[in-house]
Amino acid sequence: MKFIDHSTITWPLALLFVAKLVTNVVASAGQTEHAHSMLHSNIEVISHLMWMHTPKTGSSFYATLQHDQCQDEWDRATTNATDIRGVTTYKGKASIEGIKCDVQTIGHGPLPLSIPSHRVVAVFRNPKSRIISSYADRIHHEGMSSEFWNSLKARINLAQKPCSNEPRGEQAACKFNNGLAVYAHDNATKGCVVRTMNGFWCMDESITPTPGMVNVAVERLHSFAFVGIFEEWDRMIEKFHHLRGHAERNVGDLELVHVRKGHYNQGDIKCMGDYSDPYDQAVYDSALEINWIQRRHRRKK
């Protein structure tokens, strides 16, 4: 082992050593933020974005992508629009009536590993809120086999049977909670986002998410063209247009309408206190981090 003879170190040399150490620490601390701030620097010049649309993360974002990629049609269709009644559905997605230009998307399907991540835009939602909304929207998921679907429905129906013994005014809430508990706590409904980002269907019960799959999803996420947060919808839409170089565009109500509003009372939900989806939660936490750093970087500009 080699020891340093401290008697040979002069004060100028010592100060130089400390300065170098501080510089290295500061540079290391800034690497993460610099990397995140540069992630989306190329979104303005990407002409063909690809939308990854996980179930229950905002079909309405389709309208924003139309506004971005179909500007002429958007202007013609919305010139005389004064409210959100012009919003309809086109090919199963939110769309402004009169706009027929399509947007590249995988729909609710898998995101193949062959698709360059730097082209992908996606919105991420708190896993707990997303699974509740999925159940409330007639179990809105994709990829499960018919055998598993029939088994799941049978288990939900069995769990709801005792609710017929409850007072009439409490039966609906009982059925919702008992059915949701079966659905949300089944391992097959967890890891939807992770499966999708690894090239599998959201609810393919034959694929069990692994830590390695989580790592792949998080790594891809860090090179996405755009990472949006469902819970910050209005701010997210504004940020998307800003990153695309369209800060002057008027967002307005036409892009903020909720076309598939869930019909359930949050106060009635009693079965989700111990809910956890560690796979999708890891991806969502990374999305929140990227979103926060994007916002901070934008303020600095």
Average pLDDT value over all residues in the chain: 79
Portion of the chain with pLDDT greater than 70, in percent: 69
Task: State the Cα–Cα distance between residues 11 and 113, nearest whole angstrom.
Answer: 55
Task: State the Cα–Cα distance between residues 135 and 162, nearest whole angstrom.
Answer: 19
Residue 80 burial by Cβ neighbours in a 10 Å radius (0-12, 13-18, 19+): exposed
Task: State the Cα–Cα distance between residues 105 and 111, nearest whole angstrom.
Answer: 9
Greater pLDDT, 296 or 185: 185
Task: State the Cα–Cα distance between residues 262 and 278, nearest whole angstrom.
Answer: 24
Greater pLDDT, 86 or 198: 198
Segment 151-162, tens digit of pLDDT: 999 999 999 999
Segment 115-144, tens digit of pLDDT: 999 999 999 999 999 999 999 988 888 899
Task: State the Cα–Cα distance between residues 222 and 202, nearest whole angstrom.
Answer: 20
Decide: pTM greater than 0.95: no
> What pLDDT score does 133 carry?
92
Segment 82-109, tens digit of pLDDT: 444 455 555 555 666 667 677 888 989 9
- CA triple 120-121-127, angle to 5 deg: 115
CB atoms within 10 A of CB 94: 22
Find the mean pLDDT for residues 29-57. Answer: 65
AA identity, residue 50: M
Greater pLDDT, 168 or 22: 168
Query: CA-CA distances (angstroms) from residue 49 to 102, 119, 201?
Result: 12, 5, 21
Question: 284 pLDDT exceeds 50?
Answer: yes
Alpha helices in the chain (DSSP H): 11-39, 61-69, 71-78, 127-136, 146-160, 168-184, 192-197, 211-221, 233-243, 278-300
> What pLDDT score does 155 carry?
97
